[in-house]
Amino acid sequence: MSSARPEGGPRQRLFFALWPEAAVRTRLDQAGAALLGKRVKRVPAENLHLTLAFAGAVTATVRQCLQAAAADIRCPAFELSIGHIGHWSRPRIYWAGPVHTPPPLWSLAGMLQTALGDCGLQTETRPYQPHITLARKIQRAPDIQHIAPIDWSIRHFSLVESVTGPRAASYQLLGSWELEG
Ligand code: 2AM
């Protein structure tokens, strides 16, 4: 997309994500509680998700472009086994992730990066690292790297709006698209 003048008007902060259904969300939340204890402020259960591609603050035109591109994506459904625990010291994020990243997850994240570029957005240059943030502002690395795997069947992906509130971000699902099979 190119235009002589950048579009004005309100922007929405958007990203594509895998959004867990209730049973998986509960298990992720319980795993976070067991790992981090009650005194740590964790990501609220209803906010737990796995980001596929981050778009940032976009105009309505770009949002429509992203939605059209998402509708064109063909990718098989796949299974995730969330059993890995990690910590990044710079952003101080404590996360859970898949033990293995199945090929359809790489390709889905890749196709969505291509969609971002096709819609005129900057694409991510860092390698994709699938993760579910369990808590932020955590200094210490986890004592363990593995938990009993949480099985998660991936049948669709979603476009999500992040609204930054006074205390925490809240997320709104704007659309979901089915995977094949
Ligand atoms: P995080 O959980 O590792 O912070 C909504 O903000 C989602 O998009 C979060 O999952 C967040 O990842 C991710 N996100 C935020 N800013 C991002 C960026 N600049 N690049 C990639 N992902 C980002």
User: For 118, what's the count of Cα atoms within 13 Å in the CB-facing half-sphere?
Assistant: 14
Where exactly are the structural domains of the chain? 12-178
Give the pLDDT of residue 112.
Answer: 98
93 lines ligand 1 (CB under 6 A): yes
Please state the rounded mean pLDDT for residues 53-63.
98
Split at pLDDT 50, 70, 90, the class of 47 is very high
Grouping H, G, I as helix, E, B as strand and the rest as coil, residue 180 is strand
Burial pattern 24-37, b for ≥16 Cβ within 10 A else e, equals bbebbbebbeebbe
pTM score of the predicted model:
0.95
Q: What is the mean pLDDT of residues 70-95?
A: 97
Tokens of 102: 């199945």
Cα 38 versus chain centre, distance: 24
Under the banding of pLDDT at 50, 70 and 90, the label for residue 4 is low
What atom in ligand 1 is closest to the CA of residue 43? 2
d(CA 56, ligand 1 centre) in Å: 9
Half-sphere exposure (CA, 13 Å, Cβ side) for 134?
Answer: 28
Q: Is 171 close to ligand 1, i.e. is its CB under 6 Å away?
A: no
If pLDDT is split at 50, 70 and 90, which confidence band does 8 have?
A: confident
Tell the residue number behind the tokens 């971002």, with chain if given: 116
Q: Tell the CATH superfamily of the 12-178 domain.
A: Cyclic phosphodiesterase (3.90.1140.10)
Structural contact between residues 139 and 90, judged by C-beta atoms closer than 8 angstroms = no
Residue 164 has pLDDT above 80, yes or no: yes
pLDDT tier for residue 95 given thresholds of 50, 70 and 90: very high
How many whole angstroms separate alpha carbon 53 and alpha carbon 58? 13
Cα 9 to averaged position of ligand 1 atoms, centre (Å) = 23
Q: Is 12 in the pocket of ligand 1 (CB under 6 A)?
A: no
Residues identified as active-site: 49, 131
User: Nearest 5 degrees, angle CA 136-CA 142-CA 145?
Assistant: 120
Average predicted confidence (pLDDT) for the chain: 94
Residue with the two structure tokens 């860092």: 126
Residue type, 65: C
Task: Say if residues 126 and 8 touch (Cβ distance below 8 Å).
Answer: no
pLDDT tens digit string along 110-159? 999 999 999 999 999 999 999 999 999 999 888 889 999 999 999 999 99
